[in-house]
Amino acid sequence: MSATNRAADVPVRPAGVGDIDELVRLRAYLLEDAGSSEVPYAATSATASAAWRSSCRTWLAERLPRDPDLRAAVVDGPGRLRACAIAVVDQRAPSPVCPSGRAGWIQSVVTDPRDREQGLGAAVLDHLADWLHSRGADEIVLQTTARARDFYLRSGFLPTGEDLLYKPLHTTKEAAAA
C-alpha cells in the first residue's frame, strides 16, 4: 500500500494550544536536530535554539485559537504527536495559477523519526490541502530540502524552477535577544 493510500486511513485533527510543546518538539527535527545542517537557517547554538522555541510557542499560543487563516494538523500517538504540519493562508498578488491571490503556505511538515514511512506526512498534507481549499486558496506553496523533494513530488507538488533565497535582517545575537 502506498503512502498516499495509507493517508486516507490516518486520523488527522486540528492542533490546539495543548499541542504547542509537541509542535515545537517536532519542528526541532527541521531546525536543529539530525539533518538540519541541510538548511542555512537552522539553530547552531543553545541560545538560538531557546530563542526560536520560545518565539514559536508564543506565536502558536497567540494564533492557533484565533487566526482563521492558520491551521496546524496533527496525528496523535501514545503520549506524543507522531506528525504535524502548519498551513497559513497568505494574500498575495493574483497570478494565472492563483487568480484570487489566496495562496496556502505549508511549513513544518514533520514526522517523528520513530513513525516515518507510514503515510503520516501525506495524511497531514491531505488534511491541510482540503482545509486550504475550503478557505479559498487557489494554490499551495512550500519550500523543501533535497531529502524531502521526492516526497512532495509524489504528493502532487510541482517544481517552480525558482530558487528560494533568504536574507536574515538580524544578527544571531539580535534575534536571540528579541
Which amino acid belongs to residue 170? Answer: H
**For residue 4, what pLDDT is reported?**
45
pLDDT (mean) for 28-52: 79
The pLDDT of residue 2 is above 50: no
What is the average pLDDT score of the chain? 89
pLDDT (mean) for 33-43: 66
List Cα–Cα distances, 48 to 16, 43, 116, 127, 175, in angstroms. Answer: 25, 5, 27, 31, 8
**3-156: what CATH class?**
alpha beta
For a pLDDT cut of 70, what percent of the chain falls above it?
89
DSSP alpha helix (H) spans, 136-171: 149-154
Q: H/E element holding 104?
A: strand 102-111
The pLDDT of residue 121 is above 70: yes
Backbone angles phi, psi at 64, to 5 degrees: -55, -45
Q: Name every residue whose Cβ is closer than 8 Å to that of residue 141 and which is 6 or more positions away in sequence.
A: 103, 104, 105, 106
Q: What is the pLDDT of residues 11-31, one digit of tens each?
A: 999 999 999 999 999 999 988
The pLDDT of residue 67 is above 70: yes
- For the chain, the structural domain boundaries read 3-156
What 3-state class would DSSP assign to 96? coil
**For residue 3, what pLDDT is reported?**
45
**For residue 98, what pLDDT is reported?**
94
Which amino acid belongs to residue 22? Answer: E
Choose between 38 and 88: higher pLDDT: 88
Q: What is the pLDDT of residues 106-115, one digit of tens each?
A: 999 999 999 9
**For residue 97, what pLDDT is reported?**
92
Q: What is the pLDDT of residues 140-174, one digit of tens each?
A: 999 988 889 999 999 999 999 888 887 888 765 55
